[in-house]
Every structure is written in structure tokens, then in C-alpha cells.
Amino acid sequence: MSLVPVNPKPYLNDLTGKPVVCRLKWGMEYKGYLVSADSYMNLQLASTEEWIDGQFSGNLGEVLIRKERPRAPRERSRRLRRCNNVLYLRGVPEEEEEGGAS
């Protein structure tokens, strides 16, 4: 299986208003509707559910998944450098959304 690189901005714009699954590097998944994504790749989700290790954790409603901004070189020496927490974001097929499968 080969991966094809995708420009993230049009991809995110196409997913706006649609159901998505956002998985963080730490194992949590957030299922909801993508409301918006900005130029820093911060994500706003609505009607969001939290799933941890495949188990439903609860309804969160509106959620902001924030990408840390890159630090200026002089700031990096004072603090640890942070990176994006998002492992992946994908659209949810209609069958999966209606069936409630994960």
C-alpha cells in the first residue's frame, strides 16, 4: 500500500461540515463534525464524542484541538519544543456514521 501526499488545506476545507474522526498521538479519538480549521491546523469539532482505547468516554459537545505554534529560536532554548498532537484526521463514511461502528 502506498501513500499519496495530500495538501492539507483543501483536504480540511472539503471535510468542513462533515463527520470526522481525529486521533491524537496519545491514543484518544474524537468523533464529531468538523466546524473549522485555521491556517495553524487548529481544529474545531461539534457534537464531539471522546473515545479512549476503543471505549466510549463521553459526549463533549464543542471541542478545540489546538496545534502548538512553532517557537521562535530564542524561545526554544527556554522551553521544550512542542509539536502537533494530531496523529490523523479522516472523514467518516456514511455507513460507519449511521451504523455507529468505530
Per-residue pLDDT at 51? 96
Q: Report all structural domains of the chain as residue ranges with CATH numbers, in order of start.
A: 1-66 (2.30.30.100)
The angle at the Cα of 35, spanning 19 to 65, to the nearest 5 degrees, equals 90
Are 29 and 49 in contact by the 8 Å Cβ rule? The answer is no
* pLDDT tens per residue across span 34-89: 999 988 889 999 999 999 999 999 999 999 998 765 556 655 554 444 566 888 89
Could you tell me the pTM of the whole model?
Answer: 0.75
Flag whether pLDDT at 102 surpasses 90: no
Cα gap 56→49, rounded to integer Å: 8
Per-residue pLDDT at 94? 74
Which residue has 501526499 as its cell numbers?
Answer: 5
Per-residue pLDDT at 18? 97
